[in-house]
Amino acid sequence: MASIRELHEQLVKKERSAVEIAQEALNRIQALEPKLHSFLHVTAEKALEQARAVDAKIAAGEEIGLLAGIPIGVKDNMCTKGIPTTCASRILENFVPPYESTVSQKLIDAGAVIVGKTNLDEFAMGSSTESSAYQVTANPWDVSRVPGGSSGGSAAAVAADECVVSLGSDTGGSIRQPASFCGVVGLKPTYGLVSRYGLVAYASSLDQIGPFGRSVEDTAILLNAIAGYDPKDSTSLKVEIPNYAASLKPDLKARGKLRIGIIKETFGEGLDSAVEQAVTTAIEQLQNLGAEIHVISCPNFRYGLASYYIIAPSEASANLARYDGVKYGWRAPEADNLLSMYTRTRAAGFGAEVKRRIMIGTYALSAGYYDAYYLKAQKVRTLIKQDFETAFETVDVLVTPTAPTTAFKAGEKTTDPLSMYLNDLMTIPVNLAGLPGISVPCGFDEQGLPIGLQLIGKVLGEHQLLQVAYAYEQSTNWHQRQPQLG
């Protein structure tokens, strides 16, 4: 499928209709879903209705925006009015929201065509999209492997051309890691840049909605559509939003001296040799483009994983307390009393990974353990944030591998939670500090699996981050390679 800008041009020139473009995406979804399982809900009728509205505007001579008529997938933890929002959990299998999330409303207002809700790890808890209660999504590059998680459905859908762009959410790397595994671009914005209103909460101080695209430009266009202040979200930032896509240039030197810092703690033991080689080559390419390369240290980076797996489960245990079978969602039948109904509903409604994190979080917050675990983890979070602040005194952008390995086989790590958690080693500190991060394709391993390069920016540094990512992307052809799916 063509890029957003190319499709827009075709629509404006009346070379194609929005209905034709939407139908093409829906046909591809129908053909590929039996092997990919990227979508939990395909909204064909609604998508064609939205496409017809765009065609009517064009026929009436009205101007349309860049996203009008563009097929988009939305992760199934963002509320969509009249469309099921399950978070890939049995406990929400019958939940149909009566309202739109801010991001989905912005897409509708922009004329985008929402083709469906994408699969995820249950309540966004996972790194492989295997903890979904309904289906396991496959990686388009090798269907025996995982697409990453928790936004694996959104990443796989874009990689497989089932939609042009998609939305995911990132709590500890859940956009960037699947972007790396699936060979697409994925951006986690600065915390508060994109409204979380209507996003089903996992860990409220870490969650952030962000875009996937086949290219940096498509990702930037989608970010522009969803970014901005929202009074419905108390953590939303009241800042001016620049046009991220308009000023992308393939020349790094055009923006003056650029200093890039390599976080030395992200290289060494545990990093796959093919990943290390590809990222090292990408850093050399950035240097060839005119960037100054500095090796810097973030000594507390290594503690990000440990602190995250106290903070995030603690917040999850509080956020998921509302799912008790009373107000909405699934309820266990034939309970003897109220307590039995609560316990049986949660025991059967939540999957193993969700229950594991609730128990970890409840323990960490319990009397006698709060200071030893949760409070200490928050102190470490502050140290990690300070490490980044110190680094940005000498460099403009930081570079790491996105993930320590390429996509692993489905089922390979499901019985080893700690091994699974290590997949987010490189991405978690970015969420703890509330910074923006982007993953761009930078190569393939010997098995033909994609490798991602992570770029980390300063708070509200998306403009510069996208510029660096774009310059690198345009100097290589990694983003032009596509999986062969038929």
CB 454 within 8 A of CB 467: no
Strands of the sheet containing 397-401, edge to edge, are 39-42, 113-118, 71-75, 165-170, 208-213, 185-188, 437-444, 450-456, 397-401, 259-263, 292-296
Q: Side-chain half-sphere of 327: how many Cα atoms within 13 Å?
A: 6
Write the pLDDT tens digit of every residue in 177-202: 999 999 999 999 999 999 999 999 99
CB 136 within 8 A of CB 120: no
Q: Beta 259-263 vs 208-213: how paired, if at all? A: unpaired
* pTM value surpassing 0.85: yes
Alpha helices by DSSP H, 262-332 = 273-288, 304-319
Q: Cα separation of 287 and 280, whole Å?
A: 11
Tokens 């052809």, residue? 477
Report the share of the chain in percent with pLDDT over 90.
92
From the candidates 127, 166, 174, 307, give the one annotated as an active-site residue: 174
Q: Is residue 290 very low, low, confident or very high in pLDDT (cuts 50, 70, 90)? A: very high
Give me the amino acid identity at 239: V
CB 292 within 8 A of CB 258: yes
Q: Cα separation of 416 and 434, whole Å?
A: 28
Predicted pLDDT at 327: 84
Tokens 């991060």, residue? 437
Asked if residue 377 has pLDDT above 80, the reply is yes
Predicted pLDDT at 234: 97
SS3 state at 160: coil
Write the pLDDT tens digit of every residue in 9-49: 999 999 999 999 999 999 999 999 999 999 999 999 999 99
As given in the structure block, the two tokens for residue 197 are 């209103």
Residue 440, class by beta-carbon neighbours within 10 Å (0-12 exposed, 13-18 middle, 19+ buried)? buried
Quick one: DSSP state of residue 371?
I
From the candidates 38, 75, 101, 413, give the one annotated as an active-site residue: 75
Q: Which of 409, 403, 400 is CA-nearest to residue 455? A: 400
166 is catalytic: no
Asked if residue 310 has pLDDT above 70, the reply is yes
Which CA distances in Å does 126 have to 46, 56, 475? 30, 42, 33
The angle at the Cα of 116, spanning 112 to 122, to the nearest 5 degrees, equals 130
Q: Is residue 255 very low, low, confident or very high in pLDDT (cuts 50, 70, 90)? A: low
Asked if residue 254 has pLDDT above 70, the reply is no
Tokens 């929202």, residue? 230
SS3 state at 327: coil
Radius of gyration of the chain from Cα atoms?
A: 21
Q: Side-chain half-sphere of 420: how many Cα atoms within 13 Å?
A: 24
Tokens 């790590």, residue? 413
Q: Cα separation of 98 and 102, whole Å?
A: 13
Q: Cα separation of 404 and 421, whole Å?
A: 11
Quick one: DSSP state of residue 478?
G
Q: Is the dihedral of CA 381, 387, 392, 396 positive or negative?
A: negative
Predicted pLDDT at 417: 84
SS3 state at 213: strand
Q: Cα separation of 299 and 266, whole Å?
A: 10
Give me the amino acid identity at 46: K
Q: Beta 397-401 vs 185-188: how paired, if at all? A: unpaired
CB 401 within 8 A of CB 419: no
Mean pLDDT of 473-482: 96
Tokens 């993930």, residue? 403
Q: Residue 399's beta-bridge partner residues?
A: 262, 455
Q: Side-chain half-sphere of 270: how many Cα atoms within 13 Å?
A: 13
Q: Average pLDDT, whole number, for the chain?
A: 96
What are the two backbone dihedrals, phi and then psi, of residue 44, each rounded to the nearest 5 degrees? -60, -50
How large is the angle between the packed helices 44-59 and 4-12, nearest 10 degrees?
50
Other beta carbons within 10 Å of 330: 18
From the candidates 150, 195, 215, 314, give the one annotated as an active-site residue: 150
CB 460 within 8 A of CB 193: yes
SS3 state at 294: strand
Other beta carbons within 10 Å of 264: 14
366 is catalytic: no
Q: Is residue 486 very low, low, confident or very high in pLDDT (cuts 50, 70, 90)? A: low
38 is catalytic: no
Mean pLDDT of 345-374: 95
Q: Is residue 335 very low, low, confident or very high in pLDDT (cuts 50, 70, 90)? A: confident
